[in-house]
Structure 1
Amino acid sequence: MKSRDTLLKLKRFQVDDKRRQVAQIETMIAEFERMAVDLDREILAEQEKAGIHDVAHYAYPTYAKAAKVRRDNLARSADELRGQLADAQAALAEAFEELKKIEILEERDGARERLAEAARDQAEMDRIGLGRSELRAG
């Protein structure tokens, strides 16, 4: 039983660890998306200030070009993280299934132990009852 308790603790730790990984990746994606939106605003502001929206124009703002590159890099990174997120979510689901299997086994063993204990208690009560009835009869 001790080894199953240890296994149960390990599986719970693994599930918690996978949850943290998923949350961390989700946070990073959200942060990258927020930064990309901020860059979009800055690009638009630069274009408005310069009065030039055509990237191919010779006088297109240098900062806007650099911000577009950074925004595109952030979008690519967010896409890569989405792939990692899918993998992390699958790993979490698998770890959770393993935990549930161990918990079900633990619960089943506990139910067996409770039934065995109830049977022992009933046998003891029957023995006490028989002893009393023999005293009355004798």
Structure 2
Amino acid sequence: MMRKDNLTRLARFKLNEKRRQVEQLELMMAEFDRMCADLEAQVISEEKKSGITDQTHFAYPMFAKAARQRRENLGNSVNDLRVQINAAKIALEEAEAEFEHAEKLQQRETMREEAEIPKQAAS
């Protein structure tokens, strides 16, 4: 029984770790989205101040250019995180299936041991 119990604990640990990874990636993606929105607001504000919205204009604000580039980079990072989240969710599903399997094995082992106890007592 100890071996099956260890298997269940290990599966539960893996499951919790996969859940934590998915949550962490989702939080990071939400933070990046918030940062993108903040940068967009800063770009709009800077363009209003200067009165120039044409990015190719020689007097376009450098801060707006830099903020646009940073927003673009964060957007690319968000797209990368989406791919990572999808992979993490697949791994989470696999860990859930592994945990259910380990629990079933442990239940079978427990039932088998309980069935053997009356036989041993009768002997």
Displacement, 1:112? 3.9
Q: Which has the higher contact order (CA 8 A, sep 6+)?
A: 2
Q: How many residues align?
A: 121
User: 2:48 & 2:112 partners in 1: Cα distance?
Assistant: 75
Scaled by the length of structure 1, the TM-score of the pair is 0.81
Runs of 4+ in 1 over 4 A off after TM superposition: none
1:7 aligned counterpart, secondary structure: helix
Which consecutive residues of structure 1, in runs of 5 or more, have no partner in the other structure?
Answer: 125-138
Which consecutive residues of structure 2, in runs of 5 or more, have no partner in the other structure?
Answer: none
2:38 aligned counterpart, secondary structure: helix
- RMSD of aligned C-alpha atoms? 1.8
* Equivalent AA in structure 1 for residue 16 of structure 2: D
Displacement, 1:111? 3.4
Scaled by the length of structure 2, the TM-score of the pair is 0.90
* Equivalent AA in structure 1 for residue 28 of structure 2: M
Identity among equivalent pairs (%)? 46
Partner of 2:91: 91
Partner of 1:10: 10
Once the two structures are superposed, the pairs formed by residues 1-138 of structure 1 within 5 Å of their partners are 1-114=1-114, 116=115, 120=118
The structure whose Rg is larger is 1
